[in-house]
């Protein structure tokens, strides 16, 4: 059951759901901007990961071996930067830039932390996505906390992370959520 939860609530799945749903949460974002953001932020990087897995360059689709992550992080950052450039050409609104920049910031933070310590990317992304989805809807906070707890359980139970690595991921997700809110004040 823990592995099923880990797969269903994988970072790429959650971020891919978050980006195209941005127009539902922020009226000023148009669908084409959200789809381009999802393409460059999650879909292209996921296809790169799939190719790496098929070529034997990574052991699994969750890239549980820290030493295998850095090249993929760099390629993902490059794809996200390309997407930001295209969004600029498309004259996308600040809300879409904020979402993508926050994800890029999260990737950079996790990349740096992972040089020394294995932090849970599942929980970093899961926490960020849950907080972003519930932003401004305080009544959903118990659901957010329950979702984070279930994902934390799954990562520990599956043996992929220790409790401290999961807590570290949650802290990164919370920090990126607040950084996203700060970006919102700067970009608007």
Report the C-alpha gap between 173 and 90 in whole angstroms: 29
8-40 pLDDT tens trace: 999 999 999 999 999 998 889 999 999 999 999
How many degrees, rounded to 5, is the angle at CA 22 between CA 16 and CA 28?
Answer: 150
Report the C-alpha gap between 188 and 98 in whole angstroms: 9
Contact 22, 42 (CB under 8 A): no
112-149 pLDDT tens trace: 998 899 899 999 999 999 999 888 676 788 889 999 99
The structure's pTM equals: 0.92
User: pLDDT band at residue 95, thresholds of 50, 70 and 90?
Assistant: very high
Torsion of CA 23, 136, 9, 87, to 10 degrees: 30
Report the C-alpha gap between 20 and 42 in whole angstroms: 11
Q: Range of 110's domain?
A: 2-187
Number of domains in the chain: 1
């Amino acid at each position: 059951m823990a592995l099923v939860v880990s797969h269903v609530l994988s970072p790429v799945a959650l971020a891919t759901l978050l980006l195209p749903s941005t127009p539902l949460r922020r009226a000023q974002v148009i669908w084409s901007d959200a789809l381009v953001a999802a393409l460059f932020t999650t879909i292209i990087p996921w296809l790169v990961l799939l190719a790496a897995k098929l070529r034997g360059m990574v052991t699994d689709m969750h890239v549980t071996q820290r030493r295998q992550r850095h090249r993929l992080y760099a390629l993902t950052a490059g794809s996200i930067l390309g997407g930001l450039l295209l969004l600029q050409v498309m004259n996308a609104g600040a809300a879409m830039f904020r979402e993508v920049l926050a994800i890029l910031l999260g990737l950079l933070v996790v990349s740096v932390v992972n040089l020394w310590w294995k932090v849970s990317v599942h929980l970093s992304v899961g926490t960020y996505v849950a907080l972003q989805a519930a932003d401004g809807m305080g009544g959903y906070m118990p659901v957010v906390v329950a979702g984070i707890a279930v994902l934390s359980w799954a990562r520990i139970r599956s043996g992929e992370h220790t409790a401290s690595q999961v807590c570290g991921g949650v802290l990164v997700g919370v920090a990126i959520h607040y950084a996203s809110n700060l970006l919102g004040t700067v970009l608007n």
